Structure 1
Amino acid sequence: MNTLNGLPAHVLLVHGVVVLLPLSALLLVLTSVWPAARRRLAGPNAVLAVLVVLLVPLTTDAGEWLERRVPSSELVRNHAELGDTAIFYAVPVAVLALVVWWRDREARVTSGRRTYLAPLSVAVTGVVVVLALVVAAAGVYGMYRIGDSGARAAWTSGHS
């Protein structure tokens, strides 16, 4: 997918990643630390985080297509290199969102069933919370850097 309604697809798809990845990261932190939010939002956030993982390669592929059609500059190259790192922010958010959802699911149905992710362990919960905070912070900061470099490339180079 290179264009949508005549516009470069990257310009449209990137908004989904820039909004949805930080949203998923925020929901990851919320669901990892607050049991009431976990019960309501862990499942939807797991789905959202996986969708973001699927959206990132579409966005970066569309960005590579666009990169070949705009004048080359250091700003464009820098943005393209940073954009290639987006998947490394999206995957950990998705994995931890799935872990939080699975642990909540197991905690609700533990009677007589074997559990795999220690849903009632305070220590494991603490590790998940710390990992969620680190991964979420990295994801939000990474999206900021990627988005900022893209805006600089577009507005400074006259591609807007």
Structure 2
Amino acid sequence: MTTVHGLPAHVLLVHVIVVLAPLAAVLAIICAVWPAARRRLVWLVLALAAAAMVMTPLTADAGEWLEKRVGPSPQLHTHTQLGDTMIYFSAALLIAALALGFLHVRENRDHSMKPGLHWVLATVVILVSVAAGVQVYRIGDSGAAATWGDQMAEPTG
């Protein structure tokens, strides 16, 4: 996908990632530390993480198409390099969501699950979720700098 009604698809698709990944990350953390929330939200977290995983390469491909049309710059290169890493963060977030789903199913079947395993998983989910959120911020910040950096540096008027 290259354009949508004349707009570069990347400009539109990036907003999907900016919403889905942090939302999945925040809900994953809540599910990791609060069993009542996990019982209600774990499948939503899994769906959001899966959607973010699917949308990440589509957004990156649309970004590569756009990069070829706007020309090189150091800021765009930084943004592209950071954007290429998001697939790893999306994959880690999906794996964390799958682990939460496994924990949920396991808790429903075996009520005598070891508490230590729960906290190890919660720690991993928190670390992965925070890392994914930070990476979304870093990519977005570099994209904003590549797009608006020169215009925002000059005073108007």
- TM-score for both structures, normalised by structure 1: 0.90
Aligned equivalents of 2:46, 2:35: Cα separation in 1: 15
Percent identical across equivalent pairs? 42
Post-superposition Cα deviations, 1:49-102, rounded to whole Å, max 9, x if no partner, equal: 011101000000000000000021000111000000111111111111111112
Aligned equivalents of 2:150, 2:97: Cα separation in 1: 38
Higher mean alpha-carbon deviation, 51-60 vs 94-103, is at: 94-103
1:138 aligns with 2:115: no
Aligned equivalents of 1:105, 1:153: Cα separation in 2: 44
Aligned equivalents of 1:46, 1:108: Cα separation in 2: 17
Shift of 1:137: 1.1
Q: Which amino acid aligns with 2:131?
A: A
Specify which of 130, 148, 154 is matched with residue 155 of structure 1.
148
Matches within 5 A, 1:1-160: 1-110=1-110, 120-157=113-150
Shift of 1:106: 2.3
Helix, strand or coil: the match of 1:72?
coil
Shift of 1:105: 1.6
Shift of 1:157: 4.8
> What runs of 5+ residues in structure 1 fail to find an aligned partner?
112-118
Q: Which has the higher helix share?
A: 2
- TM-score for both structures, normalised by structure 2: 0.92
Aligned equivalents of 2:11, 2:122: Cα separation in 1: 34
Check conservation: 2:20, 2:51, Cα contact below 8 A: no
> Which stretches of structure 1, 4 residues or longer, exceed 4 Å deviation after superposition?
none
Q: What RMSD, in angstroms, separates the aligned Cα atoms of the two structures?
A: 1.4
Shift of 1:156: 2.0
Helix, strand or coil: the match of 2:69?
coil
Q: Which amino acid aligns with 1:17?
A: I
